[in-house]
Amino acid sequence: MSITLIFSLLFYFRFKTRQEIQQTVSSALESAQHLTPEVLEQLADSLNSKFDDLHRSVISIAIAIGFAVLF
């Protein structure tokens, strides 16, 4: 159950982040603001931050510890 909860939270927060970025772009386009390629690139980079590898590593270690405790 805890593994399901971890993955559910992971997918939920990833979904919320992407949804917020899409809303930001949509509202900027609706208000007729010009989005430069640099701004769009920064938004895309925020999805793939430099901490993603560390984040995935910590989650993987937590899952491994969970399995070790379970079995």
Local confidence pLDDT in tens for the 71 residues of the chain: 677 887 788 788 888 888 888 888 888 888 888 878 888 788 777 776 666 777 778 888 888 898 888 87
Nearest to 6 by CA among 47, 70, 56, 54: 56
Total domains in the chain come to 1
Read off the tokens for 22. Answer: 């899409």
User: Which residue segment(s) compose the domain that 34 sits in?
Assistant: 2-70
d(CA 10, CA 1) in angstroms, rounded, equals 14
Global confidence as pTM: 0.54
